[in-house]
Structure 1
Amino acid sequence: MSEPNRATQAAWAALISTSRKLLEAVEAALKSAGHPPLSWYDALLELEKAGPEGLRPFELKNRLLLPQYGTSRLLDRMVKAGLVERQDCEGDGRGQIVVISEQGRSIRRAMWPIYARVLSDAIGSKLTTKEAMKLTRLLSAL
Protein backbone atom coordinates (compact mmCIF):
# COMPACT_ATOMS: atom_id res chain seq x y z
CA MET A 1 0.00 0.00 0.00
CA SER A 2 1.44 3.36 -0.98
CA GLU A 3 1.29 6.57 0.99
CA PRO A 4 -1.01 9.25 -0.53
CA ASN A 5 0.95 12.07 -2.14
CA ARG A 6 0.73 15.66 -0.90
CA ALA A 7 -1.79 16.66 -3.55
CA THR A 8 -4.08 13.80 -2.55
CA GLN A 9 -3.76 14.72 1.12
CA ALA A 10 -4.45 18.39 0.36
CA ALA A 11 -7.49 17.49 -1.76
CA TRP A 12 -8.86 15.33 1.07
CA ALA A 13 -8.34 18.07 3.66
CA ALA A 14 -9.98 20.70 1.44
CA LEU A 15 -12.92 18.43 0.67
CA ILE A 16 -13.59 17.63 4.33
CA SER A 17 -13.04 21.20 5.53
CA THR A 18 -15.25 22.74 2.86
CA SER A 19 -17.96 20.14 3.33
CA ARG A 20 -18.02 20.74 7.07
CA LYS A 21 -18.19 24.53 6.63
CA LEU A 22 -21.04 24.30 4.12
CA LEU A 23 -23.04 21.90 6.27
CA GLU A 24 -22.52 24.11 9.33
CA ALA A 25 -23.68 27.16 7.35
CA VAL A 26 -26.87 25.39 6.23
CA GLU A 27 -27.54 24.10 9.76
CA ALA A 28 -27.02 27.57 11.27
CA ALA A 29 -29.29 29.25 8.72
CA LEU A 30 -32.06 26.69 9.24
CA LYS A 31 -31.77 26.99 13.02
CA SER A 32 -31.84 30.79 12.98
CA ALA A 33 -35.01 30.65 10.86
CA GLY A 34 -36.60 28.34 13.45
CA HIS A 35 -36.53 25.25 11.24
CA PRO A 36 -35.54 21.67 12.02
CA PRO A 37 -32.03 20.39 11.18
CA LEU A 38 -30.79 19.55 7.72
CA SER A 39 -31.20 15.79 8.31
CA TRP A 40 -34.94 16.41 8.62
CA TYR A 41 -34.98 18.25 5.29
CA ASP A 42 -33.14 15.39 3.60
CA ALA A 43 -35.56 12.80 5.02
CA LEU A 44 -38.61 14.88 4.09
CA LEU A 45 -37.29 15.36 0.55
CA GLU A 46 -36.73 11.62 0.09
CA LEU A 47 -40.18 10.82 1.44
CA GLU A 48 -41.77 13.50 -0.73
CA LYS A 49 -40.03 12.07 -3.80
CA ALA A 50 -41.28 8.58 -2.87
CA GLY A 51 -44.87 9.78 -3.13
CA PRO A 52 -47.89 8.23 -1.44
CA GLU A 53 -46.24 4.77 -1.44
CA GLY A 54 -43.67 6.08 1.06
CA LEU A 55 -40.52 4.21 1.99
CA ARG A 56 -39.61 1.41 4.31
CA PRO A 57 -37.31 2.67 7.09
CA PHE A 58 -34.36 0.68 5.69
CA GLU A 59 -34.89 2.30 2.27
CA LEU A 60 -34.80 5.74 3.86
CA LYS A 61 -31.70 4.73 5.82
CA ASN A 62 -29.95 3.73 2.59
CA ARG A 63 -30.90 6.96 0.84
CA LEU A 64 -29.74 9.11 3.75
CA LEU A 65 -26.63 7.03 4.47
CA LEU A 66 -27.39 7.04 8.18
CA PRO A 67 -26.88 4.16 10.57
CA GLN A 68 -30.04 2.22 11.48
CA TYR A 69 -30.23 3.65 15.02
CA GLY A 70 -29.84 7.20 13.65
CA THR A 71 -32.68 6.68 11.19
CA SER A 72 -34.91 5.24 13.91
CA ARG A 73 -34.33 8.21 16.21
CA LEU A 74 -34.80 10.66 13.36
CA LEU A 75 -38.11 9.05 12.41
CA ASP A 76 -39.28 8.98 16.04
CA ARG A 77 -38.70 12.73 16.34
CA MET A 78 -40.33 13.47 12.99
CA VAL A 79 -43.40 11.36 13.82
CA LYS A 80 -43.70 13.16 17.16
CA ALA A 81 -43.51 16.52 15.32
CA GLY A 82 -46.26 15.39 12.92
CA LEU A 83 -44.06 15.61 9.82
CA VAL A 84 -44.19 11.94 8.87
CA GLU A 85 -46.49 9.03 9.57
CA ARG A 86 -45.78 5.37 10.05
CA GLN A 87 -48.20 2.96 8.41
CA ASP A 88 -48.37 -0.82 8.59
CA CYS A 89 -46.91 -2.53 5.56
CA GLU A 90 -49.40 -4.73 3.76
CA GLY A 91 -48.17 -8.29 3.47
CA ASP A 92 -45.57 -7.82 6.21
CA GLY A 93 -47.07 -7.80 9.69
CA ARG A 94 -43.91 -6.43 11.26
CA GLY A 95 -42.96 -3.96 8.53
CA GLN A 96 -43.80 -0.30 8.28
CA ILE A 97 -43.97 2.30 5.58
CA VAL A 98 -43.09 5.91 6.33
CA VAL A 99 -44.91 8.67 4.44
CA ILE A 100 -44.60 12.42 4.57
CA SER A 101 -47.54 14.29 6.08
CA GLU A 102 -49.03 17.50 4.69
CA GLN A 103 -47.32 19.36 7.54
CA GLY A 104 -44.04 17.69 6.55
CA ARG A 105 -44.47 18.89 2.96
CA SER A 106 -45.14 22.38 4.20
CA ILE A 107 -42.07 22.42 6.45
CA ARG A 108 -39.84 21.08 3.68
CA ARG A 109 -41.06 23.78 1.30
CA ALA A 110 -40.43 26.45 3.96
CA MET A 111 -36.90 25.13 4.59
CA TRP A 112 -35.84 25.15 0.95
CA PRO A 113 -35.45 28.93 0.43
CA ILE A 114 -33.08 29.14 3.43
CA TYR A 115 -31.11 26.12 2.20
CA ALA A 116 -31.06 27.51 -1.36
CA ARG A 117 -29.80 30.90 -0.16
CA VAL A 118 -26.84 29.29 1.60
CA LEU A 119 -26.01 27.25 -1.52
CA SER A 120 -26.21 30.37 -3.69
CA ASP A 121 -24.10 32.43 -1.29
CA ALA A 122 -21.51 29.76 -0.55
CA ILE A 123 -21.17 28.15 -3.96
CA GLY A 124 -23.12 29.97 -6.65
CA SER A 125 -21.57 33.35 -5.88
CA LYS A 126 -18.04 31.91 -5.87
CA LEU A 127 -18.09 29.55 -8.84
CA THR A 128 -19.32 30.06 -12.37
CA THR A 129 -21.78 27.55 -13.73
CA LYS A 130 -18.96 26.00 -15.74
CA GLU A 131 -16.75 25.72 -12.64
CA ALA A 132 -19.59 24.18 -10.62
CA MET A 133 -20.15 21.61 -13.37
CA LYS A 134 -16.42 20.83 -13.41
CA LEU A 135 -16.42 20.42 -9.63
CA THR A 136 -19.37 18.06 -9.93
CA ARG A 137 -17.51 15.96 -12.53
CA LEU A 138 -14.36 15.87 -10.38
CA LEU A 139 -16.25 14.83 -7.24
CA SER A 140 -18.25 12.25 -9.21
CA ALA A 141 -14.99 10.69 -10.31
CA LEU A 142 -14.30 9.84 -6.68
Structure 2
Amino acid sequence: MLQRAQVRIARHLEAELLVAHDLPLASYDVLSQLAEAPERRLRMNDLAGRVLLSRSGLTRLIDRLQRDGLVNREACESDARGLFAVLTDAGVARLAEATPTYLRGVRAHFLDALGPDEIGQVRELVARLTGATGAP
Protein backbone atom coordinates (compact mmCIF):
# COMPACT_ATOMS: atom_id res chain seq x y z
CA MET A 1 0.00 0.00 0.00
CA LEU A 2 2.80 2.43 0.86
CA GLN A 3 4.58 1.61 -2.39
CA ARG A 4 1.42 2.22 -4.43
CA ALA A 5 0.90 5.62 -2.84
CA GLN A 6 4.54 6.57 -3.46
CA VAL A 7 4.43 5.44 -7.08
CA ARG A 8 1.12 7.21 -7.75
CA ILE A 9 2.38 10.50 -6.29
CA ALA A 10 5.73 10.21 -8.10
CA ARG A 11 4.00 9.55 -11.43
CA HIS A 12 1.85 12.66 -11.03
CA LEU A 13 4.85 14.80 -10.07
CA GLU A 14 6.90 13.40 -12.96
CA ALA A 15 4.16 14.09 -15.50
CA GLU A 16 3.65 17.65 -14.27
CA LEU A 17 7.39 18.43 -14.29
CA LEU A 18 7.81 16.94 -17.76
CA VAL A 19 4.89 18.85 -19.26
CA ALA A 20 5.72 22.20 -17.67
CA HIS A 21 9.55 22.09 -17.65
CA ASP A 22 10.72 19.06 -19.65
CA LEU A 23 12.36 17.93 -16.41
CA PRO A 24 12.03 14.35 -15.11
CA LEU A 25 11.48 13.91 -11.38
CA ALA A 26 14.91 12.28 -10.92
CA SER A 27 16.55 15.31 -12.56
CA TYR A 28 14.59 17.65 -10.30
CA ASP A 29 15.80 15.63 -7.31
CA VAL A 30 19.45 15.89 -8.42
CA LEU A 31 19.20 19.64 -9.00
CA SER A 32 17.50 20.08 -5.63
CA GLN A 33 20.13 18.07 -3.76
CA LEU A 34 22.93 20.04 -5.41
CA ALA A 35 21.23 23.36 -4.65
CA GLU A 36 21.12 22.47 -0.95
CA ALA A 37 24.75 21.33 -0.82
CA PRO A 38 27.65 23.59 0.18
CA GLU A 39 28.99 25.38 -2.89
CA ARG A 40 26.23 23.64 -4.92
CA ARG A 41 28.43 20.55 -5.28
CA LEU A 42 28.48 16.96 -4.11
CA ARG A 43 30.74 14.00 -4.74
CA MET A 44 29.07 11.65 -7.19
CA ASN A 45 28.97 8.79 -4.64
CA ASP A 46 27.29 11.02 -2.05
CA LEU A 47 24.81 12.33 -4.60
CA ALA A 48 23.92 8.80 -5.71
CA GLY A 49 23.06 7.90 -2.12
CA ARG A 50 20.95 11.01 -1.63
CA VAL A 51 18.87 10.52 -4.78
CA LEU A 52 18.65 6.74 -4.39
CA LEU A 53 20.20 5.91 -7.74
CA SER A 54 22.94 3.46 -8.58
CA ARG A 55 26.27 5.02 -9.53
CA SER A 56 25.76 4.01 -13.16
CA GLY A 57 22.21 5.39 -13.16
CA LEU A 58 23.43 8.66 -11.71
CA THR A 59 26.26 8.83 -14.25
CA ARG A 60 23.76 8.58 -17.12
CA LEU A 61 21.52 11.20 -15.53
CA ILE A 62 24.44 13.58 -14.93
CA ASP A 63 25.49 13.08 -18.57
CA ARG A 64 22.06 14.34 -19.68
CA LEU A 65 22.05 17.23 -17.20
CA GLN A 66 25.54 18.22 -18.31
CA ARG A 67 24.49 18.18 -21.99
CA ASP A 68 21.63 20.51 -21.02
CA GLY A 69 24.07 22.83 -19.22
CA LEU A 70 22.43 22.31 -15.82
CA VAL A 71 25.32 20.49 -14.11
CA ASN A 72 29.08 20.28 -14.55
CA ARG A 73 31.53 17.64 -13.42
CA GLU A 74 34.69 18.69 -11.63
CA ALA A 75 37.64 16.59 -10.54
CA CYS A 76 38.26 16.20 -6.84
CA GLU A 77 41.64 17.73 -6.02
CA SER A 78 42.21 15.47 -3.00
CA ASP A 79 41.23 12.24 -4.80
CA ALA A 80 42.11 11.86 -8.46
CA ARG A 81 39.42 9.19 -8.87
CA GLY A 82 36.68 11.31 -7.33
CA LEU A 83 34.30 13.56 -9.21
CA PHE A 84 31.96 16.29 -8.08
CA ALA A 85 28.64 17.15 -9.66
CA VAL A 86 28.26 20.93 -9.58
CA LEU A 87 25.05 22.85 -10.17
CA THR A 88 25.44 25.57 -12.81
CA ASP A 89 23.68 28.93 -12.85
CA ALA A 90 21.42 27.54 -15.57
CA GLY A 91 20.63 24.62 -13.26
CA VAL A 92 19.73 27.02 -10.46
CA ALA A 93 17.41 28.90 -12.82
CA ARG A 94 15.75 25.70 -14.09
CA LEU A 95 15.23 24.48 -10.53
CA ALA A 96 13.70 27.83 -9.56
CA GLU A 97 11.28 27.58 -12.49
CA ALA A 98 10.30 23.98 -11.67
CA THR A 99 9.99 24.24 -7.89
CA PRO A 100 6.55 25.91 -7.83
CA THR A 101 5.22 23.13 -10.08
CA TYR A 102 6.76 20.49 -7.82
CA LEU A 103 5.36 22.09 -4.66
CA ARG A 104 1.89 22.46 -6.20
CA GLY A 105 2.01 18.78 -7.10
CA VAL A 106 3.06 17.72 -3.60
CA ARG A 107 0.19 19.77 -2.19
CA ALA A 108 -2.40 18.49 -4.70
CA HIS A 109 -1.42 14.82 -4.67
CA PHE A 110 -0.36 14.39 -1.05
CA LEU A 111 -0.97 17.16 1.45
CA ASP A 112 -4.52 18.04 0.37
CA ALA A 113 -5.55 14.42 0.98
CA LEU A 114 -4.61 14.75 4.66
CA GLY A 115 -5.98 16.75 7.55
CA PRO A 116 -3.75 18.99 9.70
CA ASP A 117 -3.38 16.35 12.43
CA GLU A 118 -2.55 13.68 9.86
CA ILE A 119 0.21 15.81 8.33
CA GLY A 120 1.87 16.04 11.73
CA GLN A 121 1.53 12.30 12.21
CA VAL A 122 3.03 11.59 8.79
CA ARG A 123 5.94 13.94 9.54
CA GLU A 124 6.66 12.10 12.81
CA LEU A 125 6.33 8.66 11.25
CA VAL A 126 8.57 9.48 8.30
CA ALA A 127 11.18 10.95 10.64
CA ARG A 128 11.07 7.80 12.73
CA LEU A 129 11.31 5.52 9.69
CA THR A 130 14.17 7.39 8.03
CA GLY A 131 16.05 7.54 11.33
CA ALA A 132 15.52 3.82 11.93
CA THR A 133 16.81 2.85 8.50
CA GLY A 134 19.78 5.21 8.50
CA ALA A 135 18.55 6.94 5.34
CA PRO A 136 19.98 10.40 4.65
- What is the TM-score with the length of structure 1 in the denominator? 0.84
- The structure 2 residue matched to 1:119, chosen from 94, 98, 106, is 106
2:45 aligned counterpart, secondary structure: helix
- 1:110-137 superposed Cα distances (whole Å, 9 cap, x missing partner): 1111111111112222212221111222
- The structure 2 residue matched to 1:33, chosen from 17, 20, 28, is 20
Asked if the contact 1:83–1:102 (Cα under 8 Å) also holds between the matched residues in 2, the reply is yes
- 1:36-71 superposed Cα distances (whole Å, 9 cap, x missing partner): 101111111111111326111001011111111111
The CA deviation at 1:104 is 0.3
- What is the TM-score with the length of structure 2 in the denominator? 0.87
Number of residue pairs matched by the alignment: 129
Alignment of 1:128 onto 2:125: no
Deviates more, 1:118-127 or 1:21-30: 118-127
- Bigger Rg, structure 1 or 2: 1
Asked if the contact 1:56–1:98 (Cα under 8 Å) also holds between the matched residues in 2, the reply is yes
Deviates more, 1:88-97 or 1:36-45: 88-97
2:134: which partner in 1? none
CA–CA separation in structure 2 for the residues paired with 1:134 and 1:53 = 32
Alignment of 1:65 onto 2:59: no
1:82 aligned counterpart, secondary structure: coil
Alignment of 1:50 onto 2:26: no
Alignment of 1:90 onto 2:93: no
CA–CA separation in structure 2 for the residues paired with 1:139 and 1:67 = 23
Asked if the contact 1:35–1:111 (Cα under 8 Å) also holds between the matched residues in 2, the reply is no
2:67: which partner in 1? 80
- What's the Cα RMSD here? 1.5
Runs of 4 or more consecutive aligned structure 1 residues displaced over 3 Å after TM superposition: 139-142
Q: Aligned AA for 2:74?
A: Q
